[in-house]
Amino acid sequence: MRLEATMTKKLITVDELSIYLSLPKATIYTWVCLKRIPGVVKLGRAVRFDLAAIDRWIAENGASQEDPYEPKKSAR
């Protein structure tokens, strides 16, 4: 990868991604552990996300307001 490409990469924090995706931070951390979210960059103990990779992922998979870890309500 060229130096210019890496220097212009926009990395965001878990807090920023939580706001961006309207998801709880716990869900994002779970997805990181399960490798369900792209663009993860680990800097020591810190976790950052490549915003361009997140945007591509949303474009390819569509945005869902449903949290897959939220318990489903039964239809009674």
Task: State the Cα–Cα distance between residues 52 and 58, nearest whole angstrom.
Answer: 10
72 burial (CB, 10 Å; 0-12 / 13-18 / 19+) is exposed
Task: State the Cα–Cα distance between residues 29 and 26, nearest whole angstrom.
Answer: 5
Q: Is residue 75 part of a domain?
A: no
Q: What is the pLDDT of residue 72?
A: 56
3-state secondary structure of 75: coil
3-59 pLDDT per residue, tens: 555 556 799 999 999 999 999 999 999 999 999 999 999 999 999 999 999 999 999
CATH number at residue 29: 1.10.10
Mean pLDDT confidence for 53-69: 77
How many domains are there within the chain?
A: 1
Residues of the domain holding 50: 8-61
**Token reading at 64:** 């869902």
For the cut 60, the answer to whether the pLDDT of residue 69 exceeds it is no
pTM, full prediction: 0.70
Residue 74 per-residue DSSP state:
P
15-27 pLDDT per residue, tens: 999 999 999 999 9
**Token reading at 32:** 């990181």
